[in-house]
Amino acid sequence: MLAVWACAQASANAQPAQPPSAVVLSIVGTTDLHGRVFSANGRGGLALLGGYLRNLRAARAKDGGAVLLLDAGDTFQGGIESNLSEGALVIDAYNALGYHALAVGNHDFEYGALDGASGPAATDMRGALKAAAARARFPFLAANVIDNATGIPVSWPNVQPSTLIETAGIQIGIIGVMTYGGLRQTIQANVQGLSTRPLLPAVEAEARRLRERGADIVLVLSHAGGWCERFDDPQNLTSCGDDSEVFTLARQLPPGLVDGIVAGHTHAGVGHEVAGIPIVQAFQRGAAFARLDLLVQPGTGVVESHIFAPQGVCAFVDSQGACATAGVARSTYEGELLQPDPNVAAAMRPQLDRVNTWRTAPVGVTLVTPLDRRTDGFESPLGNLFAEALLSAVPDADVAVGLGVRRGGLRASLPAGPLTQGLLYDAFPFDNRVVTLSLTGRDLAGLLALSVARSWSGIPSVAGMLVRVTCAPDGADITLAHVSGEPIHPDARLTVAATDFFGRRVGVGTLSGPAETLSAAPLVRDATADWLRARGGRLHADEFGRPRWQPVNGGDCLAAN
In terms of phi and psi (left: phi > 0; alpha: psi -120 to 50; beta: otherwise), the region of 170 is: beta
Q: Are strands 332-333 and 329-330 parallel, antiparallel or unpaired?
A: unpaired
Spatial distance between the Cα atoms of 5 and 560, rounded to a whole number of angstroms: 92
Q: Are strands 329-330 and 323-324 parallel, antiparallel or unpaired?
A: unpaired
Q: Can you list the domains of the chain with their CATH numbers? A: 21-353 (3.60.21.10), 362-560 (3.90.780.10)
Residue 137: closest CA among 156, 167, 158, 155: 158
Spatial distance between the Cα atoms of 397 and 414, rounded to a whole number of angstroms: 26
- Taking every pair of C-alpha atoms in the chain, what is the biggest distance, in angstroms? 112
Is residue 126 within 8 Å of 110, Cβ to Cβ? no
Spatial distance between the Cα atoms of 521 and 95, rounded to a whole number of angstroms: 33
DSSP 92-133: HHHHHHT--EEEPPGGGGTT-SPTT--GGGGG-TTHHHHHHH
Beta partners for residue 261, in sequence order:
220, 279
pTM for this entry: 0.84
Distance between first and last Cα of the chain: 95
State the pLDDT at residue 543.
95
CA angle 170, 171, 173 (to 5 degrees): 135
Q: Digits of tens for pLDDT over the chain (561 positions)?
A: 334 333 333 433 445 555 678 999 999 999 999 999 999 888 999 999 999 999 999 999 999 999 999 999 999 998 889 999 999 999 999 999 999 999 999 999 999 889 888 888 888 999 999 999 999 999 999 999 999 999 999 999 999 999 999 999 999 999 999 999 999 988 888 899 999 999 999 999 999 999 999 999 999 999 999 999 999 999 999 999 999 999 999 999 999 999 999 999 999 999 999 999 999 999 999 999 999 999 999 988 999 999 999 999 999 988 887 888 776 788 999 999 999 999 999 999 999 999 999 999 999 999 999 999 887 767 899 999 999 999 999 989 999 999 887 666 898 999 999 999 999 999 998 888 898 999 999 999 988 888 877 665 578 899 999 999 998 887 788 999 999 999 999 999 999 999 887 776 555 434 333 333 444 578 899 999 999 999 999 999 999 988 999 988 776 777 555
- DSSP type of residue 416: S
CA 230 to centroid of chain Cα atoms: 25
Helix runs in 433-499, H state only: 441-453
